[in-house]
Amino acid sequence: MSRGQGSTVAGLLQEVRARFAEADLDDPATEARILVGGLLHLSSTELVTCSSDAVQPAVVEQARTAIGRRLNHEPVHRILGEREFYGLPLRLSPATLEPRPDTEILVDTILPHVRRLESEVGNVHILDIGTGTGAICLALLHECPQATGVGSDISSEALETARGNAERNGLAARFTTVHGSWFEAIHERFHVIVSNPPYIASSVISTLAPEVKDFDPPAALDGGLDGLDAYRAIAKDAARFLHPNGMLGVEIGYDQRETVTSVFEGAGFLLLEAVRDYGQNDRVLVF
Ligand code: GLN
């Protein structure tokens, strides 16, 4: 591309960053790079090396529309319709939680267990309950080429998104989806069960940032009166769907280590590992 009379990559970045800064976003420069990079399909390095390239007027228009949406609190990856998780590009839909970097810790934590099981049993079979975009299961399958996985979800729209993400990342042959609530539609055993279930107490939802409460699906956030409904539902039946040497890993809220541990211990599980996130909050438990 050549230097044009209209907008350049650098000019557009500057405009978006300025509008985001005026609106008091926490990190206007990073969000501007994500948005403009996403619209132009350029990496952050390419945004620099192509900074004097011309930008088509239609893209400038798209960026201005996107700015309006962001100022209305829509998260930048929702506007783009996709984000990366564990190195995999994933589509989002209104029926799916936006995968968070913190959830990559669940993948990091479970991965060595999957590898160890792989050396014992060969084909490790993984269940992701409430799979949403498929993020957790697809990341594990991508890292473990012999593993197979099932994503279950109560939302058929989420399952469609998850299947699309499996196809996009070349994992469709090893990933299937099952439609149902918790274990309702599951009729086989797994070596590993993972889940990032809804864990926020119902009364707290209205206090969350608009980026979360207005754009993530309520069904992916709302954990009932005390936030623990999902863990109780999973703990009650999980043993029936695990092989004897199997394990279960869940994401938890920052203050739920004790309560979730007692829910699972009450169902006969043994806590193997508790892991904190980048903010030093308890985030992942393995049983
Ligand atoms: N980590 C999410 C948030 O608070 C909550 C996800 C969940 O309930 N599983 O932004």
Residues with CB under 6 A from ligand 1: 97, 100, 196-200, 212, 221
3-state secondary structure of 195: strand
Closest ligand 1 atom to 199 CA: 8
Mean pLDDT over 129-153 rounds to 98
Ligand 1 mean position, distance from CA 197 (Å)? 8
Closest ligand 1 atom to 103 CA: 1
16 touches 47 (CB < 8 A): no
Residue 162: pLDDT band with limits 50, 70, 90: very high
Closest ligand 1 atom to 100 CA: 1
In one letter, which amino acid is 77? Answer: H
Query: 282: annotated binding-site residue?
Result: no
Ligand 1 mean position, distance from CA 170 (Å)? 27
Separation of alpha carbons 252 and 234, rounded Å: 13
Tell whether the model's pLDDT for residue 1 goes beyond 90: no
- Tens digit of pLDDT for each residue in 36-54? 999 999 999 999 999 999 9
Q: Where are the domains of the chain?
A: 9-80, 93-286
Residue 73's alpha-carbon distances to 24, 69, 147, 179, in angstroms, are: 11, 7, 38, 31
Query: 255: annotated binding-site residue?
Result: no
Percent of residues, the chain, with pLDDT higher than 70? 98
- Tens digit of pLDDT for each residue in 71-95? 999 999 999 999 999 999 999 999 9
Best mutation site among 77, 92, 97 for ligand 1, i.e. most ligand atoms within 8 A of its Cβ?
A: 97
Ligand 1 mean position, distance from CA 82 (Å)? 18
Ligand 1 mean position, distance from CA 199 (Å)? 7
Helix %, strand %, coil % for the chain, to 5? 45, 20, 35
Provide CATH code, domain 9-80.
Answer: 1.10.8.10
Give 179's strand partners.
153
CA-closest candidate to residue 89, choices 171, 145, 176, 158? 171
Mean pLDDT over 60-78 rounds to 98
Query: 130: annotated binding-site residue?
Result: yes
In this prediction, residue 29 carries a pLDDT of: 97
Query: 134: annotated binding-site residue?
Result: yes
- Tens digit of pLDDT for each residue in 194-223? 999 999 999 999 999 999 999 999 999 999
Tell whether the model's pLDDT for residue 3 goes beyond 60: no
Predicted ipTM beyond 0.90: yes
3-state secondary structure of 153: strand
In this prediction, residue 6 carries a pLDDT of: 76
Question: What pTM value is reported for the model?
Answer: 0.95
Provide CATH code, domain 93-286.
Answer: 3.40.50.150
Best mutation site among 83, 194, 199, 234 for ligand 1, i.e. most ligand atoms within 8 A of its Cβ?
A: 199
In this prediction, residue 4 carries a pLDDT of: 45
Query: 198: annotated binding-site residue?
Result: yes
Residue minimizing CA distance to atom 9 of ligand 1: 198
